[in-house]
Structure 1
Amino acid sequence: MIRGKRANKLRSMDLKDIIRENALHFLPAKSLLKFQSVCREWRLQISTPFFEHNQSLSVRALQGLFCQRPGAPPMLIPFDPSCCGVPDPSLGFLPEAVDIRSSSNGLLLCQACSGDRDYYVCNPVTQKFKKLPKPSADHGNDAAIVLIFEPSLLNFEAEYKIVCAFQSADFNDATEFDIYSSRDGSWKTSGEICFATSPSTSMAKQGIYANGVVYFTAGSGFLSYDVAKDRSQLLKNYYGVCGTLGIVNGKLCSALLRGSTLTLSLLVNIHSNTMQMNSHSRMWDNQGRIALGAVLGSDVQSQSVLVVGDDLVVIQAGERLISYDLNTKVSRELSKPPKGYLTRVVPYVNSLVSL
């Protein structure tokens, strides 16, 4: 009976109304901005805070890369230019020139190139931004930093955190953590200190957030910081060379490209560094090897994994940029960025999330 009533209701609606009510919020932001011209009802619906909130919850797949070379403005490389885009990829709407530092579900974290090196969080689609207060701790010139934004069904306002791992001023080869909370509007330096690490020399400047934990590549291992527990751990990788960190099926993944073979591993035991060297306990669960010779071509000396997210791997192969879908096994050659622009790359989700 309920199904019959719903079917009758759908038959009585126009197709554009069905799409408006049931499909629009699954589309990336660029498509929605174009669809505002379809009719007055669509324009009104797309512009409401409730719709923006639903869209940020529904669209979570990666749709492009923000990339940048030193001293130059950022640029966006969309996976599908017809669906993903922003009005000003150079982020010229910000009050000063910036370096992109991190991204999370439609928001970008940027840092001013000069002066006080202020931090900004922005949505490049809406061109809305917030300038963050100056941290009490000295982060240095290029600290390792991660933006964490998880859209919540219950919170209309975008609440986010930033975790910065920086060189301790009191201890050599030690890392401290500074955390910004948008809810509190302030930074707080953690009392946690991780020894035997030096972010200024061995740590990747971009990290990954997965299941409540931030991970940074640190030398031949990984540095983890549990946000809720305020605890850090240095994870020694006894089982091979570290790969590029990413997220696959909601879990931390390491992607390593050797020649034309891609190896994917999921983190299964973050405490494996406490085991003996001959222990059978493993840090990584090998998910298999993928032969990409036909996709990458013959120049195997200049290939590397740039991004791993959802079911997508983005690889730099010489001067080419290639995306590979792990499910469909389909590859796509992306537009080639200018020389040097892959120095810093952050994945991007085209979202209407409101700041």
Structure 2
Amino acid sequence: MDSGKHTSKFLAARNNKIYMDLKLIIREHALQFLPAKTLIKFRGVCRDWKMMISTPFFAHNQSLSYSSLSGVFLQPLGDPPTFISIDPVTCGVPDPALTFLPEPVIVLASSNGLLCCQAKSGDQAYFICNPVTKQWKKLPKPSMEHGSEPAAVLIFKPSLLNFVAEYKLVCAFQSSDFDDATEFEIYSSKDDKWKVSGEINFSAKRLIPKSGVSVDDVVYWQSAYGNILVFDMIKDRSQVIHGCHGNGTLGEFNGKLCSASVNGHTLTVNVIANIYSNTMQMGSRAKLWEDKIRIPLPNQLLSVSSYPCLVLCAGSETVLISSGRSVYICDLKTKEVRLLGEAPADQKAVPYVNSLVAL
């Protein structure tokens, strides 16, 4: 009998140790993979969690670990920004209209939790901010005039060894010296200054604002004529390539440039295959684009309104589609399509990652 009691106490002690170890594992190795809104809620679990989540070290680890699409910023003409979350319970921002900034702004671009915005009036200054922490920085005035709707791309790559958020803002603008030419100006947070590239492109015309993406230090913009302007920041060179299915929305799919569009009753995601295919010899079978994913769309999505279906944003895991004022999310792995919410019709979207990154 005594032996049985001792065994029971021993097992209880072991179970308690396992329970304590599990709490430690969750705190030290799981929390950093959660979106910022969830983590802010979890600060109320206990004092230890609140202290840990509030540290700069944890914010840095979370910005490295969490990179999933959390939603999109939309902004009807003349109105403040709005935010549509792919999961309002877990992902979101406390002030979607960004009223914490010193003046009304237009959202231009996003990268791994940071937003690039431009003031609507005055000197139309650029701001970089984190909408979760409400931290922001006003950038110095560019040396060139970027126009009223700059084609801006924000590039921020969280680094394991760099606790300071270093980012670049690349703006393609119409040249004032050459008709129908495009020039490039780049801001570096490391140097805190702008630099005009020596590259000038004479083929790209009428770039679409909010259409740019970056993949491995190469920036891509859509043009109104269905082509894509490519700017290699390392080589300081540019070229124009053919788009896929007209003005398909650009994104990044598993480390490659992708173009997503709705054609008839099908969502198609194409991935860049050979960017140099247009310079290869006659008869070459090298293709610029290749089909990666095709997903049939449900009839209820296609019959919502008389508006055409538009891809708001595309990534490796999900694609957001608008049909009239309805927004749908498509899971590229399960091919499930579901209604997400409502948004202004025919709007360019800025995808966003719910991060605690500090400025």
Shared fold (TM-score, shorter chain, > 0.5): yes
| Conserved? CA contact 1:261–1:293, under 8 Å | no
The alpha-carbon deviation at position 345 of structure 1 amounts to 1.2
Q: Which amino acid aligns with 1:161?
A: K
Q: Is 1:74 matched up with 2:81? A: yes
* Count of aligned residue pairs for this structure pair: 344
What residue is the counterpart of 2:270 in the other structure? 265
Q: Is 1:346 matched up with 2:353? A: no
Distance verdict in 2 for CA 1:40–1:280, change over 3 Å = same
2:330 to 324, 330, 343: 324
The alpha-carbon deviation at position 179 of structure 1 amounts to 0.3
Distance verdict in 2 for CA 1:272–1:240, change over 3 Å = farther
1:163 to 166, 170, 184: 170
Could you tell which deviates more after superposition, 37-46 or 301-310? Answer: 301-310
What residue is the counterpart of 1:226 in the other structure? 232
The alpha-carbon deviation at position 14 of structure 1 amounts to 5.2
1:208 to 210, 213, 220: 213
Could you tell which deviates more after superposition, 55-64 or 266-275? Answer: 266-275
Q: Is 1:284 matched up with 2:289? A: yes
What residue is the counterpart of 1:4 in the other structure? none
Q: Which amino acid aligns with 1:77?
A: I
| Conserved? CA contact 1:259–1:301, under 8 Å | no
Q: Report the secondary structure of 2:57's partner residue.
A: helix
2:155 to 138, 142, 148: 148
- Root mean square deviation of aligned Cα: 2.0
Q: Report the secondary structure of 2:338's partner residue.
A: strand
Could you tell which deviates more after superposition, 327-336 or 288-297? Answer: 288-297
Q: Report the secondary structure of 1:344's partner residue.
A: coil
Identity in percent = 54
What residue is the counterpart of 2:24 in the other structure? 17
Q: Is 1:274 matched up with 2:279? A: yes
2:65 to 58, 63, 81: 58
How far apart in 1 are the matches of 2:251 and 2:350? Answer: 11
Distance verdict in 2 for CA 1:318–1:336, change over 3 Å = same
Distance verdict in 2 for CA 1:84–1:12, change over 3 Å = closer
Distance verdict in 2 for CA 1:227–1:13, change over 3 Å = same
What residue is the counterpart of 1:85 in the other structure? 92
Q: Is 1:108 matched up with 2:115? A: yes
Alignment of 1:117-196 (within 5 A): 117-196=124-203
The alpha-carbon deviation at position 270 of structure 1 amounts to 1.1
Distance verdict in 2 for CA 1:13–1:106, change over 3 Å = same
Q: Which amino acid aligns with 2:357?
A: V
Could you tell which deviates more after superposition, 291-300 or 266-275? Answer: 291-300
How far apart in 1 are the matches of 2:355 and 2:339? Answer: 23
TM-score, structure 1 as length reference: 0.92
Q: Which amino acid aligns with 1:13?
A: M
The alpha-carbon deviation at position 295 of structure 1 amounts to 5.9
| Conserved? CA contact 2:108–2:116, under 8 Å | yes
Q: Report the secondary structure of 1:190's partner residue.
A: strand
The alpha-carbon deviation at position 297 of structure 1 amounts to 3.7
TM-score, structure 2 as length reference: 0.91
| Conserved? CA contact 2:309–2:322, under 8 Å | yes
| Conserved? CA contact 1:63–1:350, under 8 Å | yes
The alpha-carbon deviation at position 241 of structure 1 amounts to 2.7
How far apart in 2 are the matches of 1:71 and 1:33? Answer: 31
| Conserved? CA contact 2:42–2:50, under 8 Å | yes
The alpha-carbon deviation at position 242 of structure 1 amounts to 3.9
How far apart in 2 are the matches of 1:34 and 1:350? Answer: 14
The alpha-carbon deviation at position 236 of structure 1 amounts to 2.9
Alignment of 1:287-302 (within 5 A): 287-294=292-299, 296-299=301-304, 302=308
How far apart in 1 are the matches of 2:176 and 2:326? Answer: 41
| Conserved? CA contact 1:101–1:206, under 8 Å | no
What residue is the counterpart of 1:3 in the other structure? none
Q: Is 1:252 matched up with 2:257? A: yes
Q: Report the secondary structure of 1:264's partner residue.
A: strand
The alpha-carbon deviation at position 305 of structure 1 amounts to 1.0
The alpha-carbon deviation at position 229 of structure 1 amounts to 1.5
Distance verdict in 2 for CA 1:105–1:46, change over 3 Å = same
How far apart in 1 are the matches of 2:302 and 2:203? Answer: 40
1:18-53 deviation per Cα after TM superposition (whole angstroms, max 9, x unaligned): 311121111100011011111111011001111000
What residue is the counterpart of 1:48 in the other structure? 55
How far apart in 2 are the matches of 1:130 and 1:171? Answer: 33
1:280-336 deviation per Cα after TM superposition (whole angstroms, max 9, x unaligned): 221011124221134624357521111101210100112210000010222221121
